[in-house]
């Protein structure tokens, strides 16, 4: 790692656009060039920063291992991964919630009475397992990498645990929310050693992001 540069891991795909908007509001408009290239590592010397474009669920891994000083990632990923990183700031966007959902007509009390064998499809097995364990409900958790809303329709699972924003994917797949597990927004995370050893370098960046989030002009 180039010690002079601050390395930030940013999530590709859906989160990239709003992340680049936030960085622009924080005074790093040149980061928009990241969206125009297929290069996955980019140095912006004028910002004194290096960027890693990572799969969203990989962002905390780069940060935990010190390949990146900082990262931007959804709370959903942090809740599932439980990486050893510092969570510094709630960035407010990528707002969605973890829900337990089932076919329309499902009796929600069936969730809570613990009777019967429940099969739960999810991309977030640890979040799902913890949800049911805390309620003393036995559930078989079935991992899927995506399109989780399919599972109840084809008999793979009784319920799903997934993130929902507008609720459109649930509705269009005949599912209704039975319970909300937690809210999720994008977070700024830091490598623990970087945060301690590079605090003076990191602090102005945190401040710029904080002001960008609160709407104050970046200096
Ligand atoms: N519908 C949504 N509304 C708001 N935020 C969302 C929504 N879906 C996902 N997110 C947020 O964006 C992040 C990336 O989601 P997305 O599903 O686009 O990535 P992905 O390609 O599935 O990620 P990965 O490949 O790492 O699993 C999620 O971790 C979550 O924080
Ligand atoms: O409430 P909504 O606004 O409909 O958004 C929720 C959907 O968005 C995400 O899926 P994504 O599009 O990332 O696809 P995936 O299921 O393959 O991860 C999430 O897993 C839901 O399926």
Q: Model pTM greater than 0.90?
A: yes
Asked if 125 and 192 count as a contact pair (C-beta separation under 8 A), the reply is no
Ligand 1 centroid distance, CA of 73 (Å): 9
CA distances from 144 to 159, 160, 173, 216 (A): 13, 10, 16, 41
Ligand 2 centroid distance, CA of 204 (Å): 34
Encode pLDDT of 32-83 as tens digits.
999 998 999 999 999 999 999 999 999 999 999 999 999 999 999 999 998 9
Encode pLDDT of 119-147 as tens digits.
999 999 999 999 999 999 999 999 999 99
Ligand 1 close to Cβ of residue 81 (< 6 A): no
Asked if 175 and 122 count as a contact pair (C-beta separation under 8 A), the reply is no
Encode pLDDT of 75-124 as tens digits.
999 999 989 999 999 999 999 999 999 999 988 776 667 677 899 999 99
The pairing of strands 6-11 and 70-74 is parallel
């Amino acid at each position: 790692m180039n010690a002079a540069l601050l390395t930030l891991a940013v999530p590709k795909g859906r989160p990239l656009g709003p992340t680049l908007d936030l960085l622009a509001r924080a005074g790093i408009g040149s980061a928009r060039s990241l969206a125009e290239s297929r290069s996955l590592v980019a140095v912006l010397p004028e910002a004194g920063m290096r960027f890693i474009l990572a799969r969203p669920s990989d962002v905390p891994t780069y940060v935990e291992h010190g390949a990146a000083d900082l990262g931007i990632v959804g709370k959903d990923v942090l809740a599932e991964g439980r990486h050893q990183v510092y969570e510094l700031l709630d960035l407010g966007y990528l707002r969605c919630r973890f829900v337990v959902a089932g076919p329309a007509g499902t009796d929600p009390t069936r969730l809570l009475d613990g009777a019967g064998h429940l099969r739960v499809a999810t991309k977030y097995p640890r979040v799902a397992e913890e949800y049911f364990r805390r309620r003393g409900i036995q559930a078989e958790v079935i991992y899927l990498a995506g399109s989780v809303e399919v599972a109840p329709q084809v008999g793979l699972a009784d319920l799903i645990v997934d993130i929902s924003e507008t609720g459109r994917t649930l509705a269009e797949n005949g599912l209704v929310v039975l319970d909300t597990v937690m809210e999720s927004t994008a977070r700024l995370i830091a490598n623990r050693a970087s945060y301690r050893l590079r605090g003076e370098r990191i602090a102005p960046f945190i401040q710029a992001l904080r002001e960008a989030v609160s709407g104050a002009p970046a200096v």
